[in-house]
Structure formats: structure tokens, C-alpha cells
Chains A and B, each alone.
Chain A
Amino acid sequence: MSKMVPLPSKSIVPERDVNKPPILETNHLGIDFGGLTAVDDLTLAVGRTEIAGLIGPNGAGKTTVFNLLTNVYQPTRGDIMLDGVSTSKKSTAQVNKMGIARTFQNIRLFGHMSVLDNVKVGLHNLTKENLAVCLTHLFGYRKTEKQANEQALEYLDFFGMADMANFPAGSLPYGAQRRLEIARALATKPSIILLDEPAAGMNPSETAELMNNIRRIRDNFQIAVMLIEHDMNLVMNICEGICVLDHGKVIAKGTPDEIKSNPTVIEAYLGKKNDKKVEAKEGETNAES
């Protein structure tokens, strides 16, 4: 049952995606840990090439939503549809094969492997090398490895990291590690990529570069991006639709302008309501200048 966008909120999907089915939908999604409800009644839709934002105060359950979307946790209630197909009862690996890739809040790279190999691991399901090939290095091993190397380098080049290909991933500076994690996720050829606090710990110039990269990802690969972020400047600038969570519940959905002026949202960011507004506005002016 694939619903046509705009649903459930008219404003959350950008116009170019309006008459196409959404890439990702959740219906009344919820999860309990013990007796505690971490996420409840989450219903949203993400357009095929949308940059969507998931924001909310600390502990609102944002990362839990990502863990639900990637089936790291199994939902207690509701379901998730990826391009009209339910992802329930699938493993995390299978969900990735279906088209959801992600990054992690605390970077999870394969630290002992080279930068290139990290991306090659991302290419795993696109590399045609069966066990016989792996064990003997015959039957076209050289060709598939060469292809994988070239493809991996293309992804690295996209983020200007091709010259770091042979470094151990663990030795990269922080910003480069974040980019590598995105490159690795993109290498799985997803139809939507989930970024968990991609700008955390970055300085303003790095954040600006990241914003540019996120737009390039969308334009180049024609995929949807969904991100969790605390940097309101970034969120308000690049997201087309925003969903605000508080205590596991959706308290608002809409365009950046709608969210900025939503009284419930301002209240949720307790005590900071004035600061937030100012921050967001300042961010805008900064980005313009």
C-alpha cells in the first residue's frame, strides 16, 4: 500500500517529489524498552530526493529512530516501508541491501583497515567474488579487485580523499573520518542515507563544507538524505522537511520556516527559546554572507 505524497504532512516533501511515492514511510512506529516508551506513534514520509531533518532535544529518541529504521532494534508497534516494501523481520544487513545506509553518532569505522578497504567493505554486496575466488585468487579475482578499487577511489574522490586511500582509517583526522563514514555508506548504493549528527565536533568552515557535500550527495546520486543534527544553522539551511521529536513523540513537522515559528517546538527547547531563534537567524545571515 504505497501512499502518494503528500502524506501525512503536506509541507514535508519538496515539490519535485510530490507526485511520486515516498522513498521511506513509517506508520505509527513505536518501541518500548522494558516499560519505557522510547519512540511512540512516529508517522512520517521522506520524498525520493528530499533532504529531511530529524531534530529534538537530547534524549528525544532520535538515534533510536535511526536504529529502528535500520532494524538494529525491532519495533514494538507500527511498520516501516522502504519504497513501498515493508522492512519488518529483516536483519540490519538485509535492510542495507534493500537501500538504507547510515552513519553513526560515535564514528564506527574499521579502524585497522585502510581508507580504501573501508570503502571496499561498503562495496561488499556489489563486488562479485564468491568463496572459491576468495580462496584461490583465480577465476577473475584480479579483475573484480581492480573494479572494486576503482569504484572505491571514485567515492573517495567525491569527498576529495583519494590521496588518503592507503592510510589506516583510524589515523585520519576527525573530519575526514566522518567523510569516510559517509563514503562507505554511499558505496552500498542506498536509496536513502541516514546521517547521525554529521556535523558534531566540526568547526564552522567544516560544517559549511559538509552542507555542500550533503547537497552534492543528493544531486549526484539522486537519493534522499535524512539527518539528525543539533546544529540549527545546518538544519534550517539545507533541510526541506523537518520532523521534531520530544520524549519519543513527534511534536511538529514542516518546512524550516514553519518549524522556526512553531510555539511547541520553541517550548520543547526549554529555556533556550530566545537563543535558538537568534542562533537560527544568525546562521542564516552567516550563510548568506
Chain B
Amino acid sequence: MAGFANKYKRLKKSTRTNISAYGLVIILFVVALTMQSTGAISNSLSGQLVPICTYIVMALSLNLTVGFLGELSLGHAGFMSVGAFSGVIAAVSLQSSMGSGPLLLLVAMIIGGLFAGIAGLIIGIPVLRLRGDYLAIVTLAFGEIIKNIMNCLYVGVDMGGLHFSLKSVNDLGMENGKIIINGPQGAVGIPKLATLTAGFILILFALFIVLNLINSKTGRAVTAIRDNRIAAESVGIGVTKYKLTTFIISAVLAGMAGALYAMNFSTVAAKKFDFNTSILILVFVVLGGMGNIVGSIVATTILYMLPEILREFADYRMLLYAIVLIIVMIATNSEKAIQFRDSVMAKLSSKKRKSQNDSETKEAVNNE
């Protein structure tokens, strides 16, 4: 065991993150599956398993924008919304030809991701020219615009294909058609295709994309832009291109998560994907640690389940999140807190280095 621990420590940092992230997700999945099959969890919590999976993917994808790109996006739920609605439209209209199975879910998720990606591109091109606070407020504005439009969107399907309207159901001009999206009521009559396994696979996919991206040329460019934009430009990195790429990848993942989320319910309204949802995802990312993949997964799981487990806590949940959010930000960013942390770290690392040197010398001696 000690040998394993040592080996683990000697791995490259990126490899360590990969092992712990994938490992954690697999363990969580096995635990959830066992509990679900043995009936060890309550019905309400069992119904939350797919949403937890989708929110983990939301947090992972937002972490890409906030943690690695270093830009605050306050409209992430908007991409979830686009993914959810386009996914539902795809699923309902293809249901008759493809049947309700995992394949339909996969197609719905891909289409959800695709449309969210297109939304990401349309929004990203203007937004990423801005910086800092302005960028954040414009992503917020786009999130609200998406919500507003979805709120007056009517979509139906009949023999003649899809019908769209921004006014009313009657305006769709359908004959014996089926209403898919009914304005403020949102998507109705959704086929419930989502399963825990699908959620698990989506998390693995999101992890694969995010972790690979971080440990690549693109990931280095993105981190470089975050650390020092001017220096990144000076070594020939086209800032807009990489910002846009990251933003779109983040949007695609959010769209896929949105599609899966919608398939877990029979109806989903546009209101569900409002500013508060965007903030909730941001809370998961910040409390898990910006740029920390494993942290995002842990924080989402715990924070999402807490109000389910502690009923009394549910009322105070957002208040507490807000307080913790402020404390975490001050503790990790204020000058005094950083000085304090550095001094503690310096003491710890000097001790650690000493013991490490000792063990290395011992090993060297042994080898000889």
C-alpha cells in the first residue's frame, strides 16, 4: 500500500488528476448503482441521480471557462437551455422513426450539444472581444435573452415536419400535430429516456474532453492567456481563437447535459434555466476550486445532495452558499490571506523537502 502511495506521488501531476477524477466518478457510479438496486436510497434522492450527473457535467464545462480560461460566464444555464430544448425537439420528432431507446437519447444529446455549440459560437464571437466585468455582464444578458426567447417559443410537429412560432400554439398552423414546446410551459410530453448509466457515460465523456484539452497545446495556450494575456500574444497565440474554442467546447458539453437533464422529466420550462441556475453552477465551481476538476465533481455531488438529505437545511441552503462563497473568495484572494497561506506553505514545504531528501538519500544508498 505504501509502495502504491509512493508511486502515485511520483506520477506527473496531470496523470494524478486523471486517475483521481476518473476513479472518483467510477466509485460514485458504483455506489449509486448499488444503492439504487438495493433500494437503499429514498425515491426522491433516486430521482435526483440524473440531475446530479448533469450538474457535474455543467460544473466541469463551466470550470473550463472560469477556471482555465479565467473569464466569468454568468449565462451558462442558457446553453443548458438550448441543449435541453433542441434535444427534446429532436427526440420527439425522431421518436417514431427511431424508437425510444439509448440511440434516441444519444442522438438527442448530440443535437443538443450541436445547437448549444452554435449558440456558443454566435454569443462567443461578440462576447470574447470584451474583458472582465463587461464580458460577465454580457454573458448574463445573453442568458436572459435565451430564457426570454425560449419562454415565448412554440414548437410543434406534424406530418409536414416541424413548426415554429414566437406567438401562440394556434399560430403554428398544424393539423393534428403534436406540441413539443408550449411557450411558458416549456417542453411537454418528453420521452423519459435518461438513465443513471447515461449520466455516468456523459460525465466520463466530459472528463475525457476536459482533461485531454487541458493537457494539450490548446490547453497550454488557454492557461497562458489566463495567466498573462499580453505575454501569450507576444509568443504568437491568437487569443480570440483559443478563447472561442474553449467557450464553444464548454457550451457543447453544457448542451449535452441540458438534453440529458430534460429527458429525465416529462416537462421542462425555460424558467428552470435562469440566472439562478447559472449562479448555482458557478457556486459548485468556485467551492470546488476554480481550475480543479476533481473539486468540481466533489462539490457538485455534495452540495446537490445536502438539501435532499438535510430537509431542515434546504431553507437556509442558498444563504449558506452565499456566505461560504464570500468567505472562500476572500480567503483565497485577499492579500493578507495569501501572505498567511504562503508562510504556512513555506514552513510545510521546507519540512517536506527535508524528509524527501532524507528518503531519496536512503534510496540512493539502497540502490548502490
Q: Is B235 a contact partner of A121 (Cβ separation < 8 A)?
A: yes
**B234 and A110 contacting across the interface, CB-CB below 8 Å:** no
Q: How many residues of A contact B (CB 8 A)?
A: 38
B331 close to chain A: CB less than 8 A:
no
Q: Is the CB of A108 within 8 A of B212?
A: no
Tell me whether A112 is interfacial, beta carbon within 8 Å: yes
Whether the pair A109, B228 counts as a contact (CB closer than 8 A) is yes
Task: Count residues of B near A (Cβ-Cβ below 8 Å).
Answer: 26
Complex: how many Å from CA A135 to CA B239? 19
Nearest CB in chain B: distance from A256 CB, A? 28
Cβ B236 vs Cβ A125 within 8 A: yes
Chain A residues near B219 (CB-CB < 8 A): 134
> Given A113-B223, A134-B218, are A104 and B231 also a contact pair (CB < 8 Å)?
yes
Q: Which A109-148 residues have C-beta < 8 A from chain B?
A: 109-113, 117, 120-122, 124-125, 127, 129, 131, 133-137, 141, 144, 148
- Is the Cβ of B216 less than 8 Å from the Cβ of A101? no
Q: Which of A111, A135, A187 gathers most chain B CB within 10 Å?
A: A135
Q: A70-B234, A124-B236, A185-B235 are in contact. Are A112 and B223 (CB under 8 A)?
A: yes
| A225 → chain B closest CB, angstroms | 16
Chain B residues lying within 8 Å of A108, measured Cβ to Cβ, are 228, 230-231, 234
Return A156 CB to nearest CB of chain B, in Å.
15
Give Cα distance in the complex from A110 to B232, angstroms. 8
Known contacts being A110-B224, A136-B212, is A101 close to B218, with CB within 8 Å? no
Known contacts A129-B216, A134-B217, A135-B209; A92 and B224 CB within 8 A of each other = no
Q: Mark B328-364, 1 if CB is under 8 A from A, else 0.
A: 0000000000000000000000000000000000000
A124 touches B221 (CB 8 A): yes
Does A91 lie at the interface of the complex (its beta carbon under 8 Å from any beta carbon of B)? yes
- Given contacts A104-B231, A108-B228, whether A131 and B236 have CB atoms under 8 Å apart is no
Q: Chain B binding site: helix, strand, loop or mixed by DSSP?
A: helix
Closest residue to B291 on the A side, CB-wise? A112
A-B contact count (CB 8 A): 97
Question: Which A-chain residue is minimally distant from B230 (CB atoms)?
Answer: A108
**Residue of A96, A112, A124, A136 contacting most chain B CB atoms (<10 Å):** A124
Neighbour of A121 across the interface among B215, B232, B239, CB < 8 A: B232
Cβ contact within 8 Å between B231 and A124 = no
Tell me if A121 and B218 are in contact (CB < 8 A): no
CB distance from A169 to the nearest CB of B (A): 9
Return chain A residues, CB-CB under 8 Å to B239: 93
Q: Using an 8 Å CB-CB cutoff, how does the interface string of A57-74 with B read, 1 for contact, 0 for none?
A: 000000000000010100
With both chains docked as a complex, state the minimum distance between the C-beta of B346 and any C-beta of chain A, in angstroms.
Answer: 11
Residues of A within 8 A of B215 (CB): 137
B220 touches A121 (CB 8 A): yes
CB of A91 within 8 A of CB of B238, answer yes
Taking the complex as formed, is B233 at the interface, i.e. its CB lies under 8 A from any CB of chain A? yes
**Residue B227 is within 8 A (CB to CB) of chain A in the complex:** yes
Residues of chain A with a CB closer than 8 A to B238's CB: 91, 93-94
A3 contacts across to B, CB distance below 8 A: none
Asked if B237 and A93 sit within 8 Å, CB to CB, the answer is yes
> How far, in whole Å, are A96 and B215 apart by their CA atoms in the complex?
24
B138 sits at the interface (CB 8 A): no
**A70 vs B219: C-alpha distance in the bound complex, in angstroms?**
24
Contact with A along B203-221 (1 / 0, CB 8 A): 0000001001101111111
Q: Are B231 and A113 closer than 8 Å at their CB atoms?
A: no
Q: Is B17 in the interface zone, CB < 8 Å from A?
A: no
| B245 interface hit (Cβ, 8 Å) | yes
Q: Which residues of B contact A112 (CB under 8 A)?
A: 223, 227
Q: Show 17 A/B contacts (Cβ-Cβ < 8 Å), sorted by A.
A: A72-B230, A72-B233, A93-B239, A96-B233, A96-B234, A104-B231, A108-B228, A113-B227, A117-B220, A120-B217, A120-B220, A121-B221, A127-B217, A134-B216, A134-B219, A135-B213, A185-B235
Given contacts A110-B227, A133-B216, A135-B249, 15 further A-B contacts (CB under 8 A): A96-B233, A101-B234, A108-B230, A109-B228, A109-B231, A110-B223, A110-B224, A110-B231, A117-B223, A124-B236, A134-B218, A134-B219, A135-B213, A141-B216, A148-B217
- A contact residues vs B (CB 8 Å cutoff): 70, 72, 91-94, 96-97, 101-102, 104, 108-113, 117, 120-122, 124-125, 127, 129, 131, 133-137, 141, 144, 148, 184-185, 187-188
Chain A to chain B: the 5 pairs with minimum beta-carbon distance, closest first: A134-B216, A96-B236, A108-B231, A110-B227, A92-B233
